[in-house]
Structures are given as C-alpha cells and as structure tokens.
Amino acid sequence: MGVTFEEFNFNRQILNAIADAGYTEATPIQQKAIPPIMNGQDVMGIAQTGTGKTAAYVLPILMKLKYAQGDNPRALIVSPTRELAMQIEENVKTFAANTDLRVVVLYGGLGPKTQIEQINKGVDIIVATPGRFLDIYLAGHIVTKTLQVLVLDEADKMMDMGFMPQINRILEIVPVKRQNLLFSATMSEKIHELSNNFLEFPTIIEVSPQATPAQTVNQQLYFVPNTKTKINLLRKLLDLEGNITKLMIFCKTRVAADDVYKFLQRKYGEGGVKVLHANKGQNTRINSINSFKNDEVKILVATDVASRGIDVSDVSHVINFDVPVVIEDYVHRIGRTGRALQHGEAITFCGPAEVYYLRKIEKLIKQTIPVSALPDDVFIEETGYDERQEQNKEIDLQKRKDDPDFKGAFHEKKSANQHKKFDVAKAKVKYGKAYKVATGKNKTSRKKR
C-alpha cells in the first residue's frame, strides 16, 4: 500500500475534495514534493506531465491560502500553453471545491474583457500564460504585491517557445519575499541557469515516468476512422471474446465514457456494466468499484482520473476506447491487467487524431504495438462533418505543439494577406506623394488642375 493523502497535514476540506475526485494514493512526485512545499521551501521538480505534479503543488498552495482574502492574488501559476493553463485551473477548482478560494485563468486567443472583469471581482489564485498575464498587468488590472507563491510549470517548454523575456519581466514585478516552485520535464543548462536566478536553496526532486508495461500483457492495436466505427468494433470484440472475465474500458472524457456506458447498458442490461468518472458522486464511485471487484458486474467503463488508485487484481482485458493524451496513462491503464503473473489482453482503438499520442506512447514504452486489421464484418461508418473538423483541428494543434511556427492552412493565407497590407502601408509612409501619383490616388492635385 502506498502513501495516502491522509498522511499529509491537509485539512478536512481538502482531504474530502481529494476523495471526491477519486484519488487515494499519492504519486511519487506528490510524496516527495508536498512536504517541502508545505514547509515553505523553494522546490525544483523534474517531472513530466502525467506524474501528478499539478496536484503536488496545487494542494499545498490551497492549504497555505485556506480561504478567500482581500481582492488581490496571493498565488500565481504560470504555464506555457492555454491548454495546460485550463487543465491547471480545473485541478485547482476540483481540490478547492469545499473552500471559498477564487481562481481566474488568463490566456490569449480571446479578448481580455471577461478575464479583467473576473479579476476585478477579487481573486486568490491566478493561472496564466506569460504574455496574457503581462498584458493585463501592464494595463493596470493586477496588483502583484500580495503574491506569496509563484509557480513556473513546464519551464523548459516556456523557454522553447521563446517566453524567457516575459518570465524575466514577471520576476521583476513580483515581491522579492515569496515561495518559488519550478517544474520542468528536463534539466537543461538553461533551466539550471533559471533555477539559480529564481530559486533560493531549493529542494530538488526528480521523478522518472513509469515506462514499462508488464511482460504478461498482450498488446493489440486497431486503427479506426471515427467514434461510431469504434462502437461497432467494440460490439464485435465483445461478441468474439468469449474469455473476457473482467473488462475495463478506458475513455478520454466523461462524455465518451457515458456514451460507451449507454451502448453497453442496452446490450447487457442495467446490472451488467458500471461507469466511473469524476462527475459521479463519491458513493456512486465506491459502489461501482465494489460491484466490479466483487464480480457483480463484468464491465467497468472509466476515465483516467477516476481509475487512479483502483486495485482490482483479476482484470482479464483492458480496452482503450481512446488513446490517452497523457501518455504515461497508457502504462497505468494496461497495468490493470496481467497482474500477479496472470496473462492479460490490452486492446487500443486509435483514430486519425490520436496517432500523434500513439507514437509518443510507443517511444515511451520502447515497443511497437502490433496492429490488427479490422474484422471484415465490422461496419465502417462515414466520418461526420463535425467529427472530421474536430480531428483536423486536433492534428493542427499537435503540429503546432511540435513546431510553434506552424500556423495551419487558414493562418498561412491570413498572414500572406497581412504581409501584403503591411508592405502597402510601408510604401505609403516611405514614398509619400510619389506613391499616390504612381497609383493614381493623387486626387487633390487633379481637382486643382
């Protein structure tokens, strides 16, 4: 049995929120980082996404702030991307559910008006991308003198994306007396330099991701064009696999988990399947897990958040209905089967927009997952317009992750037009009257004539 959250010095409100979110045991980085952060030390954590690092710093911050106070922020969490900022904000809201602490997330890509209104209502924790934070600060809407904790999350990624000038500017405007936390997936020379400027006598914590699936698990992969075809394939596999004694089906989102659950409910009836995700109440989740453990139901549909810390020993099959976005979760998922030297089957359905994560998983586990052809009698559905758009958008995002200069087809057109307009404006300024005469726009001189 690992370390439980009860062993940390958290108050009851936070412990209840952790339990409601379905977490039971602390991950290695949480075990190592929470005590020094709670003691007010500066901490440098070398850990990738998926190791539980967000909770490792969010929980002690909530404990330190305890309740809403004043109008100005007392903690600032800086992250490189809008997606990560939103994910961190969701974590803060989840763990602060039983407190009155106020969190505001700031990122670009949409007008700052609403974000400024939220800050003006009073805020305890700001989660922000560097550029948007500075924009709103320089416009006079953020008071930084009350800040007690500053977190730089995924600092290496911020450097790769060219945010160093903004980071240095933020360090100039926050109070000298504060607690600093720095998280990075790698320990490069640049990060070392930043930590020297930023941290005072830090506690350094390093956690490598768990990257080896059990040898007793047989892995299998199907390439599937869309969600409806995934459902058809699931139906087929359930008909074929007579040796499924206990099955866990993992989905990326609550919506997907509910959809798969409804489909299985029609097939197996009310009592044959249970669903587990963060939207379900604590009692419902405990009942679902117990029914599954005690063989009252044979199938459990779950999201990754809800499945952490579930110890069920005799799962015969795991089906990844979606490829996990947090790649380490793949190892967690398939580790549910093939335990205690028993043999297990892990089957993954991979859509067009999920290949990116699949390749990262194969790199992590240092294996190529064997591909199976779709059975002949699985009906391949047409991909609907909305789903196709969603897939294309996701693929664009992935390309942008690997290459911050990638703008996608739409942006290329737009930037070409912008360049044209810019050149024209430059010519007007540079050549003045000559430009007007050359383009026949010298109307005033014609009138005089």
pLDDT in tens, 309-346: 455 667 889 999 999 887 877 877 887 776 555 678 99
pLDDT band at 84 (very low <50, low <70, confident <90, very high): confident
Greatest distance between any 2 Cα atoms in the chain: 98
What's the pLDDT at 383? Answer: 94
Which residues does 442 contact at the CB level (< 8 Å), separation at least 6?
Answer: 433, 436
In CATH, 220-401 is 3.40.50.300: yes
Mean pLDDT, the chain, integer: 84
What local confidence, expressed as pLDDT, does residue 447 receive?
45
Average of pLDDT values for 38-58? 87
Higher pLDDT among residues 403 and 136, named by residue = 136
Residue 292 has pLDDT above 70, yes or no: yes
Alpha helices in 282-338 (DSSP H): 282-293, 304-307, 328-334
Q: How confident is the model at residue 371 (pLDDT cuts 50, 70, 90)?
A: very high
Strands in 186-256 per DSSP E: 203-206, 217-223, 247-251
Confidence band (pLDDT; 50, 70, 90) for 445? very low
* Domain extents in the chain: 5-206, 220-401, 408-448
**pTM of the model as a whole:** 0.54
Looking at residue 323, its amino acid is: V
Higher pLDDT, 108 or 103: 103
Instruction: Show the tokens assigned to 6.
Output: 């009860």
Which range is least confidently modeled, 46-60, 84-98, 140-154?
Answer: 46-60
Check whether 220 has a pLDDT greater than 70.
Answer: yes
CATH topology (fold) of 5-206: Rossmann fold (3.40.50)
436: CB partners within 8 A, 6+ apart: 442
pLDDT of residue 412: 47
pLDDT of the residue at 305: 63
The DSSP result for 272-293, as a single string, is GEEEE-TTS-HHHHHHHHHHHH
Helix (H) or strand (E) holding 151: strand 149-152
Average pLDDT over residues 289-312: 76
The answer to whether 346 touches 219, Cβ cutoff 8 Å, is yes
Q: What is the pLDDT of residue 17?
A: 93
What's the average model confidence in pLDDT over 85-95? 91
User: What DSSP state is assigned to residue 7?
Assistant: G
List Cβ neighbours of 150 (8 Å cut-off, separation of 6 or more).
75, 76, 78, 170, 174, 178, 179, 180, 181
pLDDT at 194: 85
How many other CB atoms are found less than 10 A from the CB of residue 328? 22
Region 395-405: what's the mean pLDDT?
A: 83
Model confidence band, residue 406 (pLDDT cutoffs 50, 70, 90): confident
* Cα 185 from Cα 44, distance rounded (Å): 11
| Number of Cβ atoms within 10 Å of the Cβ of 74 | 20
DSSP annotation of 39: T
Position 212 scores a pLDDT of: 61
Share of the chain above pLDDT 90, in %: 49
Assess whether the region 5-206 and the region 220-401 belong to the same CATH fold: yes
Predicted pLDDT of residue 67: 92
pLDDT surpassing 80 at residue 432: no
Question: How confident is the model over 341-360, as a mean pLDDT?
Answer: 90
Residue 213: predicted pLDDT: 66
Give the separation between CA 233 and CA 237, rounded to whole angstroms.
6
Mean pLDDT of 30-41: 94
Q: Residue 202 pLDDT more than 80?
A: yes
